[in-house]
Structure formats: C-alpha cells, structure tokens
C-alpha cells in the first residue's frame, strides 16, 4: 500500500541501535536500566508466576491462577531486553530470552492461540469478552516484542510465534462470513500489527490493523452483542459508558480526550501509523483534532495524563486535581509515543516539546533512582499518609504491582530512548536533533553516513556542543530544536555566532559540512514560574517552578514544618511564594544522584503571621527517594 504525500511521515525514525547514549544525564540511567531494572523485572515476573504460567500446569483449585494480562507484562520485558541487547550485547541476557521464548513456544496452541489464562483457567471463555479481558491487547505486546527481538538478534523463533498468532487472529476476526467483527477493549494490537507489517512486508497485517480501527465504535455496538451472547445486560458495565475504552464513536469522528488515558494514547499511535501507511487523511485529521483536547486542556504540567482513578483517565476540560491525580506512568509513555509519531508527520517542535516534558517529568517519576522500585500513578501533591494500607496502586514507589504494566513499559522506553532523539528527512537529506542527549548517532544524509556527536550536561546546563562528521564533504540542512520554553537561544558554527533561522521550533543550519565542523547551541535556563489556565480550579492562586524541561516540587525532607503549622490537609501549604522572591539554582552532585535544586525565601503561614522561611525545591522526577513525607508541585503564591 502506497500512501499519498498528504498523509506520510515527513521524517524517518532513526533505529535506536544507530544511537549511542554515553555519560551525561541519560547514560547512567540507561546503564542502570540494563544492570538493574531489566534483571529486577525478570525476577519479579518469575516470582509472580508469569513464567510458570506458560507451562500450562495450573489446575482448578491451585493458587495463583494465570491472569488475563500476564503475557503483556512479559512481552514488554522481552521488548526492553531486546532493545538493550541491540546496543549492549549480553550473552547471559540473550540466553535468558531464548529460555522465555521456548516457554512461549510451548504454550502456543496448535491453531496459533497464545494466552495461558484462557488455555487453563477459562478455556471456554476464549474471545467471549473482548470488552473487559485482554486477549488482543496481550497479543499486541507479544507482536511488538517479537519485532524488537528479531531486529536485535536476527533470530526468528519469537517472530514466528507472533506471525502464527496474528494469522490465527486474522482468521477469527474480519468482515468475512463467520468471522467476528470485534475489537479489543484495550487498544494495542492495532499499532503492533502495523509494526509487524513493517517487519515482514505483509499487507494482510496492515489490513487487519485497519479492520480493528474501522470497527471501533460502529453500530450495532459489538460489546453490546457479546454481552448479550454471554447472557449479560450490556448496561451492566462497571465504567458505565463506552467512552471508557474510546468505542463510543468511530475513531475518525472522535474529537475529545475521554476515558482510559493509556488506551487512547495507544489508539492514537495506531491511527498515526496507519495514516502514514495507507494515506488515510481522516485518521491524521482526527489525531490533529485530539491534540488540543489532550495537551492544552487535559494534561498536567508534568506531562501526566489522567485526572481520575475511577477510569484511570480523563474527566473534563481543566479538571486537573493534584493530590488525587492519577497520571499513570504508562499514560505518559503513551503520550510520548504518540507525540513522536506526530512529530514525524510535521517536523514541528511543539510535539517534541511535549515528548520532552513527559520524559523528564511524568515518565521518569515512575522509576526510583535505585532502578528497582516503580510508581503506577504520579500525583502532583502527596500527603503524609499517601501509602495507606489497602490502596490498590499506592502513591509511593513499590517493588511490584499486581497489575504490573508500568515497570516493563518504562524499561522498554529507556532501552530504546536513542531512537527518539533524532530524525532523518524521508525524502530529503535533512537531519534533525529532537532531544539533547550526550552521545553519538549515525544518521543517513543521501548516500552517506553522517556521525553526529553531542556533548552536553543538559538538562542541568543549556550548552550543547555538536560535532558533525560526514564521510565526505556534503551540503545538507541540520535542524536543532529550540524548546518552546526557551528564549534567547544562541548558535555558533565553528566558533562564529550566526543568527537563528527558526522553522516550526527548529533552528535550520544549511551549509557545506566537513568532518570536524562544530555547532554550539546555548539554551538559557532561567528559573520560571508557571501558572495554570484560570479554569484549573485546583491551581488558582498557585505557581509551579520549572527550569528548562524539568518541573520542580517541594518535599518535606527539605522543608520541615512544625506540627502547629496551619496547613489544612497539606502542611506544605503553610508555605507561600512571594511573586518577587529571588530564586536561585544550584547543582548538588551528592543529592539524588546529582540534581539542580532551586532555593528561595517563602512566607510561612503560622498563627496568622507570614514568617520568612527558606525553602528548597527538587526535580519532580526525584521525589520520594528519601524519607517519607509530603510533596507538592503547585505552591501557594503570596500577593
């Protein structure tokens, strides 16, 4: 299928194995992901029973029955481990992966079906409840893992498993006689099938992805039909409305962010990919319509999505409570993935700005500095009793969760992060730098490789040194993102300052390049006060602090308050920041693995008097790594 130019990606993605992240901010984090996070997740999966479930030995009455979503957790770990292997060969990890793939092969049924729960726990329930169960969702993550593993290792065993499963699904679902016209309650398979098409060149996977998107929200509603077939009343639905899983309207007609946040983000990823592959301008137009609803009216300052725990998702415009914010780690990752696709269509820096915001804040907050503890939700205010007993998804980071979607999700993103930092013109020799990450990349400009090296302490410092090394002298354009928060950026080429020519958020530098040419980009990083839209009731009279892409918070560990402080529900609310208070930034190498902190003088509400009190703010992503206590992003602002 050939797409017309109107709905094609303008930029090609750069495979992450052509990018090396070394040193700087992200190098140690990616190494911790390899050395700690990926092995920790594998151990937790084994202890929880995910691996043993594939032996299909569970029998009624046995403890710990396989869950409907377990294969998805395992598949995301396989994907993360595969990405890691592609950039850091590890024979032991390679062998571990082979062992897990052998278990998957043994669990696959002769017809291609693969889900331990519906093989041994509910064998009669296969495909009977797509609304609430996760069969197709798990299949999608398995396919994504297979594509990643094949690309990293060249081995075909897992890809063969995934193709057999996809081919079986294509027999069961479709518009033909005797086929089911259903789709999954949790989107994911759609984008995975597009990836499988890319890996195999088989158009049937693209057609199946399109079928699932086309069917969503059509009448008669499939989830009504299958509920009746189960002998249930379709109205007896825990979430009350099909907005929950975005099946309330056909996808091309949707214009408002509703329902479960992760599901919408995965749907939008699939819509963008399919628009590119098929030239479906209506799918792209729907993505563009949904952008302001998601980003401008229903996104937190941290890049988090989802204001309600009830639906793990969206409520109404500007309804962004802080203490009860859900802001699931997976939702921020989904936002990052969707925005990376929109960026490829337009080459517009506003999409990269959202990627960066979610990456440094809403995503990174989901992983503790030790690489072995995780958060499911990421609220913007936390009282002292946040991890009260019995809470399903505790606020403070945990070693594991019963629903463990977030830990392997963040692991796979960190392992593949280099693939989002750069872009190449799909039909031009243009090269793009989206994210400032120390390391190097091998990019394609025409018929030659251009090595681009970055040296930077970003985000703590705004200076980025880039060395351009083409194989031979050549003329092409290099686009450097100027973040939307940045004012006063300066650029020099080979030591000579030159005016910025900014196009859609990128500084364009076109010249005849030779090996050793150097660009110096200076991005000022003042401490800024951010104020919410006036319609955000939770943040009226409040201010958030930001420096570059990093959002800050106050923690009780740095800002102790007397028990007598009149703070209502949050004792940190006893502090108010004067509008004219001077704010200073200091790098503290021994604090929280090295961070820039912010400091200033606040006023303390204590018995009605505004007594001065020094305060310190730390990056939001780093909160909760020390003593338990309160945390707050939005601070009261003193007149």
pLDDT digits (tens, 9 = 90+) for 583-623: 999 999 999 999 999 999 999 886 556 789 999 999 999 99
The verdict on 64 and 29 lying in the same domain is: no
Query: How many CB atoms sit inside 10 A of residue 51's CB?
Result: 17
* Token pair recorded at residue 197: 């098409």
Residue 493 has pLDDT above 90, yes or no: yes
Active site residue 312: yes
CA–CA dist 218, 207 (Å, integer): 17
List, for residues 261-270, the tens digit of each pLDDT value. 999 999 999 9
Residue 206 domain-assigned? no
Sequence-ordered list of residues with C-beta below 8 angstroms from that of 114, at least 6 positions apart, any chain: 71, 104, 107, 108, 139, 142, 161, 165
Residue 505 pLDDT? 98
For 468-499, letters b (16+ CB in 10 Å) and e give: bbbeeebebbbbbbbbebbeebbbebeeeeee
* Token pair recorded at residue 135: 């069969």
The verdict on 362 and 458 lying in the same domain is: no
List, for residues 23-75, the tens digit of each pLDDT value. 999 999 999 999 999 999 999 999 999 999 999 999 999 999 999 999 999 99
The burial class, CB within 10 Å (0-12 / 13-18 / 19+), for 153 is: middle
Q: How many CA atoms lie within 13 A of 313 on its CB side?
A: 20
The verdict on 311 and 360 lying in the same domain is: yes
Q: Which of 153, 71, 29 is nearest to 415 (CA)?
A: 29
Query: Angle at the Cα of 263 (from 214 to 218), degrees rounded to 5?
Result: 25
DSSP code string of 34-78: IIIIHHHHHHHHHHHTHHHHTTT---TT-SSPPPTTHHHHHHHHH
Q: Which residue among 168, 187, 206 closes a domain?
A: 187
Residue 442 has pLDDT above 90, yes or no: yes
Token match 């759609």: residue? 190
The verdict on 307 and 408 lying in the same domain is: yes
* Token pair recorded at residue 356: 């960066």
Q: What confidence tier does 367 reach under pLDDT thresholds 50, 70, 90?
A: very high
Active site residue 391: no
Show the domain range for 145. Answer: 53-187
Residue 590 pLDDT? 98
DSSP code string of 436-448: --SEEEEEEETTE
* Token pair recorded at residue 81: 């481990």
Query: Please, what is the average pLDDT of the chain?
Result: 95
Residue 2 has pLDDT above 50, yes or no: no
* Token pair recorded at residue 509: 């530098």
Strand partners, 476: 511
CA–CA dist 176, 542 (Å, integer): 57
Residue 201 domain-assigned? no
The verdict on 550 and 634 lying in the same domain is: yes
The verdict on 539 and 583 lying in the same domain is: yes
Contact 95, 428 (CB under 8 A): no
Residue 318 has pLDDT above 80, yes or no: yes
Residue 388 pLDDT? 66
Strand partners, 585: 598
* Token pair recorded at residue 108: 């696959």
The verdict on 534 and 605 lying in the same domain is: yes
Q: What is the pTM of this model?
A: 0.97
Strand partners, 367: 374
Q: Which of 187, 142, 182, 171 is nearest to 50 (CA)?
A: 142
Of the residues 188, 312, 455, 555, only one is catalytic, namely 312
Token match 């390899």: residue? 34
The CA distances from residue 499 to 253, 492, 616, in Å, are: 43, 8, 37
Q: What confidence tier does 3 reach under pLDDT thresholds 50, 70, 90?
A: very low
- Mean pLDDT of the 125-132 span: 98
Residue 235 has pLDDT above 70, yes or no: yes
Sequence-ordered list of residues with C-beta below 8 angstroms from that of 235, at least 6 positions apart, any chain: none
Residue 542 has pLDDT above 50, yes or no: yes
CA–CA dist 604, 49 (Å, integer): 51
Contact 146, 76 (CB under 8 A): no
Residue 496 domain-assigned? yes
- Mean pLDDT of the 127-150 span: 98
Token match 């415009």: residue? 317
The verdict on 313 and 431 lying in the same domain is: no
Residue 204 domain-assigned? no
Residue 193 domain-assigned? no
Q: Which residue among 155, 170, 187 closes a domain?
A: 187
The verdict on 508 and 576 lying in the same domain is: no
Residue 348 domain-assigned? yes
List, for residues 382-405, the tens digit of each pLDDT value. 987 776 655 666 778 999 999 999
CA–CA dist 29, 10 (Å, integer): 31
Radius of gyration from C-alpha coordinates of the chain: 25
CATH of the domain at 495: 2.60.40.1180
Which of residues 346 and 452 earns the better pLDDT score?
452
Residue 4 pLDDT? 43
Contact 469, 519 (CB under 8 A): no
Residue 225 has pLDDT above 70, yes or no: yes
Q: Which residue among 143, 165, 187 closes a domain?
A: 187
Residue 396 pLDDT? 83
- Mean pLDDT of the 328-349 span: 97
- Mean pLDDT of the 523-533 span: 98
The verdict on 498 and 622 lying in the same domain is: no
For 426-460, letters b (16+ CB in 10 Å) and e give: eeebbbbbbbbbbbbbbbebeeeebebbbbbbbbb
- Mean pLDDT of the 436-452 span: 97
For 58-88, letters b (16+ CB in 10 Å) and e give: beeeeeebbbbbbbbbbbbbbbbbbbbbbbe
Query: How many CB atoms sit inside 10 A of residue 230's CB?
Result: 12
The verdict on 57 and 180 lying in the same domain is: yes
- Mean pLDDT of the 414-434 span: 97
- Mean pLDDT of the 212-229 span: 97
Contact 302, 27 (CB under 8 A): no
Of the residues 138, 184, 287, 405, only one is catalytic, namely 405
Residue 5 has pLDDT above 80, yes or no: no
Q: How many domains does the chain have?
A: 4
- Mean pLDDT of the 285-291 span: 98
CA–CA dist 204, 544 (Å, integer): 49
Residue 561 pLDDT? 79
The verdict on 360 and 301 lying in the same domain is: yes
Residue 19 domain-assigned? yes
Residue 220 domain-assigned? no
């Amino acid at each position: 299928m050939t797409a017309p130019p109107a709905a094609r990606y303008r930029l090609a993605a750069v495979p992450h194995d052509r990018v090396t992240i070394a040193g700087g901010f992200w190098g140690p984090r990616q190494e911790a992901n390899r050395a700690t996070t990926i092995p920790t997740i594998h151990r937790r999966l084994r202890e929880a029973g995910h691996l043993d479930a594939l032996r299909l030995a569970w029998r009624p009455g046995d403890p710990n029955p396989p869950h409907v979503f377990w294969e998805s957790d395992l598949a995301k770990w396989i994907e993360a481990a595969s990405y890691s292997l592609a950039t850091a060969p590890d024979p032991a990890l390679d062998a571990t992966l082979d062992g897990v793939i052998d278990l998957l092969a043994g669990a696959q049924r002769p017809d291609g079906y693969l889900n331990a729960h519906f093989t041994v726990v509910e064998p009669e329930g296969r495909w009977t409840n797509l609304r609430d169960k996760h069969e197709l969702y798990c299949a999608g993550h398995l396919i994504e893992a297979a594509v990643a593993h094949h690309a990293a290792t060249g081995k075909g065993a897992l890809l063969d498993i995934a193709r057999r499963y996809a081919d079986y699904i294509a027999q069961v679902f479709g518009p033909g006689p005797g086929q089911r016209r259903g789709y999954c309650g949790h989107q994911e398979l759609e984008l995975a099938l597009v990836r499988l098409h890319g890996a195999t060149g088989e158009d049937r996977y693209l057609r199946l992805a399109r079928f699932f998107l086309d069917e969503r929200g059509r009448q008669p509603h499939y989830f009504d039909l299958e509920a009746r077939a189960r002998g249930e009343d379709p109205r007896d639905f825990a979430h009350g409305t099909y907005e929950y899983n975005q099946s309330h309207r056909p996808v091309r007609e949707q214009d408002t962010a509703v329902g479960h946040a992760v599901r919408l983000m995965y749907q939008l990823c699939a819509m963008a990919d399919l628009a590119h592959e098929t030239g479906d301008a209506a799918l792209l137009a729907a993505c563009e319509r949904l952008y302001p609803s998601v980003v401008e009216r229903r996104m937190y300052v941290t890049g988090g999505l989802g204001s309600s725990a009830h639906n793990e998702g969206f409520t109404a415009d500007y309804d962004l409570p802080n203490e009860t914010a859900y802001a699931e780690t997976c939702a921020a990752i989904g936002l990052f993935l969707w925005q990376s696709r929109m960026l490829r269509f337009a080459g517009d820096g506003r999409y990269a700005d959202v990627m960066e915001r979610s990456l440094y804040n809403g995503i990174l907050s989901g992983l503790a500095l030790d690489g072995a503890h995780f958060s499911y939700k990421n609220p913007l205010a936390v009282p002292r009793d946040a991890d009260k007993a019995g809470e399903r998804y505790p606020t403070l980071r945990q070693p594991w969760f019963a629903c463990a979607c977030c830990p392997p999700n963040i692991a796979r993103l960190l392992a593949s992060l280099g693939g989002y930092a750069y872009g190449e013109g799909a039909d031009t020799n243009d090269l793009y730098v989206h994210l400032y990450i120390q390391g190097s990349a091998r990019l394609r400009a025409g018929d030659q490789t251009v090595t681009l090296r970055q040296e930077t302490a970003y985000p703590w410092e705004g200076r980025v040194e880039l060395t351009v090394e083409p194989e031979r002298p050549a003329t092409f354009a290099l686009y450097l993102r100027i973040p939307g928060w940045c004012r006063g950026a300066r650029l020099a080429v080979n030591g000579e300052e030159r005016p910025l020519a900014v196009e859609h958020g990128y500084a364009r530098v076109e010249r005849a390049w030779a090996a050793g040419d150097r660009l110096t980009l200076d991005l000022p990083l003042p401490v800024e006060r951010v104020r919410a839209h006036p319609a955000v009731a939770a943040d009226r009279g409040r201010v958030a602090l930001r420096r570059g892409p990093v959002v800050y918070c106050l923690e009780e560990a740095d800002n102790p308050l007397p028990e007598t402080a009149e703070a209502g529900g949050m004792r940190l609310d006893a502090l108010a920041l004067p509008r004219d208070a001077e704010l200073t930034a200091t790098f503290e190498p021994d604090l929280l693995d090295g961070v820039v902190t912010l400091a200033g003088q606040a006023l303390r509400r204590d018995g009605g008097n505004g007594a001065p009190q020094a305060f310190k703010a730390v990056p939001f992503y780093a909160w909760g790594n020390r003593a338990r206590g309160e945390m707050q992003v939005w601070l009261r602002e003193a007149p």
